[in-house]
Chain A
Amino acid sequence: MRTGNHWLRDMAFLNQRTLGVGVLLLGLSSAAGATGHLLDLSLEELGDIQVLSVSRKAQRLADTAAAVTVITAEDIRRSGARSVPEALRLVPGVQVAQIGAGRWAVSVRGFNSRFASKLLVQVDGRSVYSPMFSGVFWSAQTLMMEDIERIEVVRGPGASLWGANAVNGVINIVTHKAVATMGALVRASIDDRGKPELAVRQGLALDGGGALRVYAHSINRSAFETAGGGSARDEQTGWRTGFRLDSAATGADHWTVSGDAYRQRSPEVLALGSAGSAYSPFDFEGAHLLAQRSWAMPVGVASLRGYVDYADVVLGALAGATVYSGDLDFQHRLPASGGHEWIWGLGLRHQQVSVRSEVSVFDFMKDEARMQTFSAFVQDEIELLPQQLRLTLGARLEARNTTRPQIQPTARVLWSPTSRDTVWTQWSRAARTPSYGDLYASLVTGSQPYPPFALATLVSQANPQLEPETLNAVELGYRRQFERGNAEAVLFRHRYSRLIGNTLGGVRTPGRFPPLPEVILLRDNHSAAVSEGVELGGELSVMRGLRLGAAYTAMRFSFDASDDPVRAGASDTVANRNADHWLSAWARIDLPGAQELDLQLRHVGALTGQPSPGVAAYTVADLRYGRRFGRHLDIALSITNLFDERYTAFDSDYFPSAYAYDRRRILLTGRWMF
């Protein structure tokens, strides 16, 4: 096993060299920066000039008093990401751990888990956060990557504007308008284990300037390995089909209707404590229909969005859950006047959760629950000094039938001393309302020695009295746009209180798996924690055809000490799932003849206190070679984990299973567009 030190030293070497070249070139071109000769060229000739293009991310975000990173369609394509979590590795502050073939743990600023309860993820404004599991089932979020226009990642609380569960962060996936995906696209790929995938998409122009696209794609991802080298039997298969219809746009008026339906199967071998293990497929199916319209009001611009969503998961013969959601959201942005820029909105959400369980591992207090949430928000951006100093005040009220209403305020100051520099600071209070799972689901979480017993079954016990968890967050950030790149640095401190933790609820003998006794871990609101750290990110166009980027995060995440050994143990378990540093770095190289070479390095520090054999630090390199043939065809060869490092990134929580290990994967992809 290699140590982090070697790795850092090598990185330093890399930096020295590339910086050297970069500085040399910066010097060269500033001397020859005159626009003069360009003015004599015709429009046609101008179109042939190659530029040193720079990601405009920082500039686009220059006015935002929040730690926001945008992943563009180009970033996604060149990273070779086949799923959203893979693309998120490019963002500082986001912790991405692959548990198995289709299983992921993704979180922002701590609390990493298979179901990160404090992270909101939405696709075109539709929440994909499950109220059943208090998190996102990433196995079911198999989007067609070519449809994604951008992914906006907001680190830190975004609750005042975005709403429920936007406590640690918001991941906002935005798909292309239909008019941007005209013509036909066929993608076929095969990996080195012989698993093929196919995707087809057709875009059509409609009379009157609107457009429609329809698509379908299959998912077929090969299994990970067990510690012994056999198959972890967690291969992911499935399909998704959908459409998006956009009206013509002139001025502020347009509407969109979109929908999809999917089925996914992601089996795993569940470790059921003393009851042994069970091979059990997770079968997901779901569908949604969304409509959105924006229009010009007498003053300002309004938008109304509504959707219905169905999501079902069946865990083999063991259990199942169905969630129906209906959501209506109204937003009104007023034009800036007198230095104030107001935006306000109202939201209404109805969710119905029904569950079934055939085994004593999962136990639900209620078979069905209905949750109604009402929310209202208002935000004012106040210009204190024109173009220089801006104050944003906002608050969201959220009321749900199951808990007390919560007010989530935020105050942000943005200072732009020059047109290239931005400094911001913010304070926010956010709250997470307990989900159905927190309130009503009891689960066996494993088994362990519990003196005087040699082994006991641990049961996390439901508590319908739970109150919302709260967060106070402060942040200080700096962004700079260079002629050839951008950089950002963010310091954050999140103070969580009234966290849902565990205390001893009693010991039952015999428990549900006789002869073992059962230790009841009752959920309550008495835990507290702090996460603090630094997030660094940057991109640089070293020269034409060579772009470099990096994202680094160092984080300290700890719970308040407790005399209660059960609480302390549960807190440690949650804290230990987070690495204290991670980094990714990439180089995007354009070679002559429409060829592309993309290199990506990812390093994640070790997770401490994990069950044997543990999760060690790992460094993995990914390589992608792409080549375009004319206008209609491109071929890419991607090698993830180039040097075939055998590693595991996470110990599956909620649904415990043995560690799964990843090896080198090779994927050949062809894409036809006509």
Chain B
Amino acid sequence: MRWRLLLLLLPLLFASSVRAAPPPTEYQLKAVFLLNFARYVTWPDAALADSEAIDICVLGRDPFGEHLTGLEARQAQGREVKVHFPAAPEQAGECEVVFVSASEQRRLNAILRELEGRPVLTVSDIEGFVEAGGNIGLVTVDDRIRFDINRNAVSAQHLKLSAQLLKLARRLIGQEGD
């Protein structure tokens, strides 16, 4: 029985191993998405007054490693991008983009509450993130990265997203912001 099973499995292994370029890892691509989101958001003027750079912050355990810090000094909206790792959500209020790491799932409600009303774009790949009141939720579908947007939550953070971003979203929930 077992041999039959292996015979079934092994050709598949080798068949699918004959591929060209190896794909990027999930967080390598997600880091690029973060940078791109920063390019399509309009912050209130006051929010960008505090520093020259667009600050991308990671709350919780950093899943990106060098993939995100490697994006530092890139530009978004004519400003430099800086990556920070605040220890607590109350220190993340000055960031422009906050990525909530999957390790923070249990604290998600408290984090969203802390950032509520601040001009901060919240992004995460925690399941149910947009449903819980997050702004942009990253989802992996068929090994591709997609994103959902909660428009109520985005307007509650006093942010505007470009029409192109909305168009590319897999799912839009909530009403159109005013």
Binding site for B on A (CB under 8 A): 2, 6-7, 10, 13-14, 17-18, 21, 24-25, 28-29, 32-33, 35, 38-39, 41, 43-44, 46-54, 56, 59-64, 72, 149-150, 176-177, 179-180, 182, 208-209, 246, 248-254, 294, 296, 300-301, 303, 333, 335-336, 341, 386-387, 416, 419, 483-484, 542-546, 587, 589-591, 594, 597, 599, 601, 619, 621, 642-643, 645
Please pick, from B25, B89, B101, the residue contacting A335 in the complex, using a CB distance under 8 A: B89
Contacts of A49 in B (CB 8 A): 23-24, 29, 144-145
- Number of B residues near A (Cβ < 8 Å) is 80
In the complex, whether B1 has a CB less than 8 A from a CB of chain A is: yes
Q: How far is the CB of B94 from chain A (nearest CB, A)?
A: 17
Chain A residues near B16 (CB, 8 Å)?
Answer: 543-546, 589, 591
Please name 15 further chain A to chain B contacts, defined as beta carbons within 8 Å, in addition to the given A25-B22, A248-B174, A254-B132, sorted by A numbering. A10-B2, A14-B9, A21-B17, A43-B40, A51-B24, A60-B103, A64-B106, A179-B173, A249-B152, A252-B112, A544-B16, A591-B12, A599-B5, A601-B5, A621-B5
Closest chain A residue to B170, Cβ basis? A47
A82 CA / B174 CA spacing, docked (Å): 33
Contacts of B21 in A (CB 8 A): 32
A-B contact pairs, 27 of them (CB 8 A): A6-B2, A10-B3, A21-B17, A35-B24, A35-B28, A39-B71, A39-B74, A46-B29, A46-B33, A50-B142, A52-B22, A52-B23, A59-B102, A63-B61, A63-B103, A63-B104, A64-B106, A208-B175, A251-B156, A252-B113, A333-B109, A419-B62, A483-B25, A545-B143, A546-B16, A597-B12, A599-B8
B144 close to A62 (CB less than 8 A):
no
Q: Is the CB of A209 within 8 A of B103?
A: no
Which of A46, A61, A253 counts the most chain B CB atoms within 10 A? A46
Contact indicator B113/A301 (Cβ below 8 Å): yes
A47, A208, A589 — most chain B CB neighbours (10 Å): A47
- The answer to whether A44 and B168 have CB atoms under 8 Å apart is yes
Residues of A within 8 A of B13 (CB): 17-18, 21, 542, 546
CB of B9 within 8 A of CB of A53, answer no
**Most chain B CB inside 10 Å of its own CB: which residue of A2, A14, A150:** A14
Partner pick for B110 among A59, A252, A543, A601, CB 8 A cutoff: A252
A53 to B6, CA, bound (A): 24
Which residues in A have their C-beta under 8 angstroms from that of B150? 249-250
Docked-complex contact B2 and A248, CB < 8 angstroms: no
Give the residue name and chain of the A residue nearest to B4 (CB).
A643
| A48 cross-chain contacts in B, Cβ below 8 A | 144
Residue in A51, A149, A599 whose beta carbon sits within 8 Å of that of B143 in the complex: A51
Give A36 Cβ to nearest chain B Cβ, in Å.
Answer: 9
Task: Report the minimal beta-carbon distance from B119 to chain A, rounded to whole angstroms.
Answer: 14
CB pair A53 B26 closer than 8 Å: yes
Give Cα A562–Cα B101 distance, bound, in whole angstroms: 52
Give residues 44-96 of B contacting A (CB, 8 Å).
60-63, 65, 67, 70-71, 74, 87-90
- A35 and B102 contact, Cβ closer than 8 Å, known pairs A28-B22, A56-B125: no
Contact B32 A301 (CB under 8 A): no
* Chain A proximity of B117: nearest CB distance (Å): 8
A249 touching B143 in the complex, CB below 8 Å, given contacts A10-B6, A60-B102, A296-B113: no
Give the Cβ gap from B114 to chain A, nearest Cβ, in Å.
6
Contacts of A208 in B (CB 8 A): 175
B6 x A250 contact (CB < 8 A): no
Nearest CB in chain A to that of B36: its residue: A43
Q: Which residues of B sit under 8 angstroms from A419, Cβ to Cβ? A: 61-62, 65
Task: Give the chain A neighbours of B67 by CB distance below 8 A.
Answer: 35
Q: Is the CB of A54 within 8 A of B26?
A: yes
Query: With A51-B29, A52-B26 as given contacts, are A250 and B153 in contact (CB-CB < 8 Å)?
Result: yes
Q: B117 contacts which chain A residues (CB < 8 A)? A: 251
Question: Which of B17, B35, B40 has the most CB atoms of chain A within a 10 A radius of its CB?
Answer: B17
Minimal beta-carbon separation of A105 from chain B (angstroms): 25
Q: Which of A43, A182, A294, A484 has the most CB of B within 10 A?
A: A43
From known contacts A51-B25, A60-B102, infer whether A179 and B131 are also in contact, taking CB-CB under 8 Å: yes
Cβ A43 vs Cβ B165 within 8 A:
yes
Q: How far is the CA of A59 from the CA of B109 in the complex (A)?
A: 18
Contacts of A542 in B (CB 8 A): 13
Q: Check A46/B36 contact, CB under 8 A, given A7-B2, A29-B22.
A: yes
Residues of chain B with a CB closer than 8 A to A253's CB: 133
CB contacts (< 8 Å) of B28 on chain A: these are 33, 35, 38, 51
Shortest Cβ gap from B39 to chain A (Å): 8
Q: A10-B6, A179-B131, A589-B16 are in contact. Are A51 and B26 (CB under 8 A)?
A: yes
CB < 8 Å: which of A21, A149, A545, A621 contacts B128? A149
* Bound-complex Cα distance A24 to B16 (A): 13
Nearest B residue to A251 via CB reads B116
> Contacts A38-B32, A52-B143 given: A251-B131 contact, CB under 8 Å?
no
- Are A25 and B17 closer than 8 Å at their CB atoms? yes
Question: How many angstroms between the C-alpha atoms of A179 and B2 in the bound complex?
Answer: 44
- Bound: A632/B84 CA distance, A: 42
| Chain B residues in 8 Å Cβ range of A386 | 87
Cα distance A14–B4 when bound, in Å?
12
Nearest-CB distance from A251 to chain B (Å)? Answer: 4
Does the CB pair B103–A32 fall under 8 Å?
no
Contacting B101 at CB < 8 Å: which of A29, A46, A59, A544? A59
B160: CB under 8 A from chain A?
no
Nearest CB on B from A533, distance (A) = 25
Q: Give the complex CA separation of A248 and B126 in angstroms.
A: 18
Contact digits for B113-147, partner A, Cβ 8 Å, 1 yes 0 no: 11011000000011110011100000010111110
Asked whether B31 is an interface residue with its Cβ less than 8 Å from the other chain, the reply is yes
Select one of B36, B156, B168 contacting A250, CB under 8 A.
B156
Minimum Cβ distance to chain B for residue A494 (Å): 25
| B145 contacts across to A, CB distance below 8 A | 46-47, 49, 51
**Residue ID in chain B nearest A73 by CB atoms:** B127
B residues near A63, Cβ cutoff 8 Å: 60-61, 103-104, 106
Docked Cα-Cα span, A458 to B26, in Å, equals: 60
The docked-state distance in angstroms from the alpha carbon of A72 to that of B110 is 23
Q: Find A177's partner among B112, B128, B152, B168 (CB 8 Å cutoff).
A: B128
B10 within 8 A of A: yes
- Nearest A residue to B65 via CB reads A419
